[in-house]
Amino acid sequence: MPIREARKGSAELLILAVIEERPRHGYEIGSILNRRSHGVLSFHIASLYPTLYRLEKRGLISGRWLEQAGQRRRRYYRITPAGRRVLAEQRGVWGALLVALVRVAGVKAVEP
């Protein structure tokens, strides 16, 4: 399975984990995912924003427009209590999946 396909299923987990730390705007979320994964997880704006809108519609995150002097208006996203619960559940599911992949397929973490 290409990394792109696996990434689709992990987008919620990744976004919730990044904004768990503090509120962030969309471009910043994408940049962090790209940087922390050493380019393996690069989300295009065309796929990132629809995912943010879906998470917001489901009540897992909330967005707020902020204007700062000398910058354009940005929408900052914050995780909600429901989002924290879903994040905890997804971490458990993905953790179990990773353990199973190691046991069955001999998958090992490899630094890019």
Residue 112 counted as domain residue: no
Reported as a single tens digit per residue, the pLDDT across 96-106 is: 888 988 999 99
Residue 111 counted as domain residue: no
The number of domains in the chain is 1
Reported as a single tens digit per residue, the pLDDT across 5-42 is: 555 679 999 999 999 999 999 999 999 999 999 988 88
- 33 contacts 14 by C-beta, under 8 angstroms: yes
Q: What's the CA gap between 27 and 107, in Å, rounded? A: 32
Read off the pTM.
0.87
Domain CATH code at residue 50: 1.10.10.10
Position 12, amino acid = E
Give the residue numbers spanning the domain of 97. 3-105
DSSP string of 46-78, one letter each residue = HHHHHHHHHHHHTTSEEEEEE--TTS--EEEEE
